[in-house]
Amino acid sequence: MAAACSWLALSLSLALCVAAAAAALQGASALQLDAVAAAQQAADRVAGLPGQPPVGFAQYAGYVTVNETHGRALFYWFFEATASPEKKPLVLWLNGGPGCSSIGYGEAEELGPFLVQKGKPELKWNNYSWNTEANLMFLESPVGVGFSYTNTSSDILHLGDKITADDAYIFLLNWFKRFPQYKSHDFYIAGESYAGHYVPQLSEKIFDGNKVGLKENYINFKGLMIGNALMDDETDQTGMIEYAWDHAVISDRVYGDVKARCNFSMVNVTDACNAALDEYFAVYRLIDMYSLYTPVCTDGGSPARGHRKVAVHGAAPRVLSKYHGWIMRPAGYDPCTAEYAETYFNRPDVQAALHANVTKIGYNWTHCSDVINKWNDAAFSTLPIIRKLAGGGLRVWVFSGDTDGRIPVTATRLTLNKLGLKTVQEWTPWYDHLQVGGWTIVYKGLTFVTIRGAGHEVPLHAPRQALTLFSNFLAGTMMPPTAFP
């Protein structure tokens, strides 16, 4: 009996030792993963940028590989919230184009913490930065945009909506492995212009992936917001023409010619429609399509400065993708802002501080890529996706600066009417201090907000109002319904 007890004790002891060893190995593995993530974060930590004002929050920048075989990597710049980042949501911002930089526009001109300045090799603090409300990330997507690159040059010839969404989704999965402390945070995506494609399409990838994908790839996705957004070819183009005529941009004759000769429900365009559209776009060589009532950039004596050099053929809407007027760069209160950003981000010391251009890309950083000139797939409409996401319980907001002629408020209203959603709260003003800041209408599953006096880049033209919009979107609350001092 004593021998049996001794044998039992020995067996129990061995079992406990094996269990302890296994637990130790598991702990070591977890510790190793944490160490890897910590090392990657440390490598991406930005100590500071040339001419940057001092700040109390952390920032990170670098590359995340999205395709090992082709050597595709997307560049990001991430800012922790100014206070309590551990409690704040995480927001990804995307600019459009297709082919334009979220860093050049979103971060450096619109809603990021640091804005470029005229005539100064310095950055200034943005008092209305969106990282006062959230942890904020900017992504240059797809490859060929900004600092994002591919080692397989043929990738540039195969870009389109699908590969952009696929790569951005892989980016997020890999980024969360690098920054696991943000995996549990509420996650939102926002953007403007062609992000009316990017944001819903990436959102659908996450939405579907959360349902059928691996548990470790789950993203705590809560909602999306898009502004002055390309969503439906037919209504976006129709709304452009209606807006231009209603705002005294084009003549009755040009308006009548476009209406008579162009059918925007069709992909192909007739020669007669082409001729009418040529006259329509000729006007926007004189004034800023993206902001009707602000001056154009005249630095250097050339009206072409600050505009893209290459049209992206095949991008939505296909009827207009070949027109340079359709893809002109936005301008703002200082319409030459794009020039200052290109000067700043091409500085070697700035690139070194951002851990950017590590492969020595064979072209300069630009706001909108000069190497992307072909787009292979573009949805005629993203409304089916938006309807699916709104019906799936995600928070969906759409906003529109009402002086934009590129994706005007008229187009957006026509587009949203196509959804056929039930109205929950009728068209009503919201207030910015003592003034009407814009108008809002709430549909079942979707909220639409206009911003008075803002052009295509709403946070650039109306930074305070844009921050109010953003904070209410995150909180899921109504825009301010009354005036206050």
Q: List residues with catalytic annotation.
A: 193, 404, 456
Biggest CA-to-CA distance, the chain: 109
Closest by Cα among 195, 166, 144 to 364: 144
The DSSP code for 482 is S
DSSP H or E run through 241: helix 233-246
Q: Is the dihedral of CA 148, 151, 152, 153 positive or negative?
A: positive
Q: How many helices (H) and strands (E) does the chain have?
A: 12, 13
Q: What is the dihedral of CA 266, 205, 207, 107, to 10 degrees?
A: -90
Tokens of 341: 């950003």
Beta-carbon count within 10 A of 151 CB = 13
- In degrees and rounded to multiples of 5, residue 368 shows phi and psi of -125, 130
- 480 preceded by cis ω (within 30°)? no
Tokens 């940057």 -> residue: 52
Beta-carbon count within 10 A of 31 CB = 10
Tokens 């302890």 -> residue: 20
Tokens 């049996």 -> residue: 4
Under 8 Å between Cβ of 380 and 144 = no
Closest by Cα among 109, 124, 104 to 55: 124
Beta-carbon count within 10 A of 213 CB = 15
Tokens 């043929």 -> residue: 154
What is the C-alpha end-to-end distance of the chain, expressed in Å?
89
Which residues have a Cβ under 8 Å from the Cβ of 175 and sit 6 or more positions away? 64, 76, 137
d(CA 313, CA 448): 30
Strand residue runs (E) in 68-193: 72-79, 90-94, 114-116, 123-125, 135-140, 149-150, 187-192
d(CA 164, CA 97): 12
